[in-house]
Structures are given as C-alpha cells and as structure tokens.
Amino acid sequence: MNKEAWQGIFPALVTPFKSDDTIDFELFGKNLEAQVEAGITGAIVAGSLGEASTLTRAEKAELVKYAKKSLPAGMPVVLCIAEQSTAEAVSIAREAESIGADGLMVLPPMRYKADDEETVIYFKTIAENTALPLMIYNNPVDYKIEVTLEMFEELAKVPNIHAIKESTRDVSNVTRIFNRFGDRFKVFCGVDTLIMEEVMLGADGVVGGLVDAFPKETVAIFNLVKAGYYKEALAIYRWYLPLLELDIHPKLVQNIKLAAAKMGIGSEYVRAPRLLLKGAERERVIAIIDQAIATQPELPDYLNLAADTSVA
C-alpha cells in the first residue's frame, strides 16, 4: 500500500454478531458490498467501533481475511492495533502482514498513560518491525494521550508512518499539521461531526462511523467538497448531522449498529459488557434514525464529478 492510497473514505467497520455471539460473516459481507457500491476507497477492521476489545486475535485475523477476499482487488484493508504491550502490538503487526493486511491503524498504549517519549518509541517500534504502513490514531479525548506536533516531528523520520487519524476535535489541528509537515503525512478526519469542516481544510480522507449505515451520503459529502460543490455538500451534511452526533457518544457502537440494522446492512447485537439499547434511550436513537430515513436526500451523481470551476 503506497502513501497515495491513503485517501477518501475508510469506514471503521462494525463487527456484526449473531444472537449466539459469533461473527456474522454473511452480514459483514453484505455491509462491505454496500460500502463498495457507495464508493469507499479503503476499510478498517477491528477498531474501537468494531469492538476490538471483545474480539479474539483469531477473530481479528478472520475479519482481515474475509475483507480481503470480499473487497475489490487493490482496495486497502487496514487492521487496528490497540494493545497494552509493545511486544503484543509488534506480534499482531507481523501477523497482519503475513495474512495480507495492507496497513495498520495504531492507537497509543492502552490502559497505561504513556508519556511523550514512551508513546513515540511505542509507535516507532511497531513501525520498525513491519513493512506495512501505519496510520497514527490521535484521539486524546477518548484515549487520554495526545500525539503532539513535536511528537510527529520524531515520527516523521519513520518512512512507513504514512497517515494520521486526526481526532483531537480541534479542526485547527488539521491546518497546524499541514503547516508544519506539508504533505509528509496523509491526514484523515476521525470525528464524524467534523467531516465537512476538515475536508474543506484539506483533509485527505475520513475514517467514518455512520458510514457503516449510510455509506453513500458519507462518500457524497467527501467527493462534493473535494470537487468544490460546497452548497450541495452542505445540504447533505445538515441532514446528516443528527445521525453523525450518534458517533460522539459512549454508546456509539450500539447507536451505529442500530442504524446499520435499520438500513438492512447490520445487526444490533453487541458483545458484553456492552448491552443492547433499551427503553427511552433506544427510542431516542430510533427517532433520530427514522427521521433521517424519512427525509433522506436525493444525491447528485457524486461518483462522477467534474471540479466546480466557479469556486475560487
């Protein structure tokens, strides 16, 4: 996977389960088909949204293998690494390479709040032990470790660290990264509610959540903004925002799985300790989803856009 392949929409795929708690690979395949039809450019498996914390290592490998055989040839499949120890992270990186993964999205050390030096060495050690390219996931809101610009100065020296999933929720950080590093890193928006803003600021791609349920709308916003059709993108984005806000919630997994189930490309089942939404909480989320379905906008031909030359 070369550096230029890090662009466009990479869904952070949910892991569909059956009622017996096993992975529903048939439904996983159905969702992948919908993603490809919508125009995604890559896929991320076994991330936080994919319930990585409850998946076995063998299940993560099976998800990679299934995605590789199901997606079009050449479409990148990226495995998420979220581990407590450097040794285990390195071991998984090597296994990912051996089973055909195209890249890795790497979170900082889990549970232990590593300092800046420890975090940089953690990322560097993983990168130096695999030929796969890495995306660094920078999400201090949820994981309490910020990868600062100074830390990225050190990481920029590692040739196979290609991309950043920017999830600080500070849209200005996209510009700070480009100002400091130019095109050294590919920058992805990692927060659903900021996809339009950060793509307008030059983000190369989006790692999305609600794309699991509404893939076409996500790709449409990205493509329209990149082509300069801001008014058209904004109309979709305004419709989409109540759904996107389901992603910035402790129960984002349950929310997004419920949305995917309502769209016929997912199931609600989650693994314990997560539980299904119920009562007023479930009804609130269903009301948001149902309202979105009832008012779903007609999309332009977003897969075949010429640049809008009227936009400066």
Phi, psi (degrees; rounded to nearest 5) at 116: -60, -45
What tens digit of pLDDT does each residue of 110-139 get? 989 999 999 999 999 999 999 999 999 999
Q: Which among 91, 164, 86, 79 has a CA at the least distance from the CA of 119?
A: 86
pLDDT of 96 over the 90 cut: yes
Q: Which among 157, 254, 237 has a CA at the least distance from the CA of 197?
A: 237
Tokens describing residue 123? 């990322």
Fold held by 3-294: TIM Barrel (3.20.20)
Mean of the per-residue pLDDT values of the chain: 96
pLDDT of 311 over the 70 cut: no
- Name the H helices within the chain: 25-38, 57-70, 86-98, 116-128, 140-143, 149-155, 172-181, 195-200, 215-227, 230-244, 252-262, 279-294
What tens digit of pLDDT does each residue of 35-78 get? 999 999 999 999 999 999 999 999 999 999 999 999 999 999 99
pLDDT of 111:
87
Asked whether the beta carbons of 136 and 165 are under 8 A apart, the reply is yes
What tens digit of pLDDT does each residue of 238-290 get? 999 999 999 999 999 999 999 999 999 999 999 999 999 999 999 999 999 99
pLDDT of 291:
98
Sequence spans of domains, the chain:
3-294
Q: Lowest mean pLDDT: which of 3-7, 213-217, 308-312?
A: 308-312
Q: How confident is the model at residue 308 (pLDDT cuts 50, 70, 90)?
A: low
| DSSP code of residue 80 | E
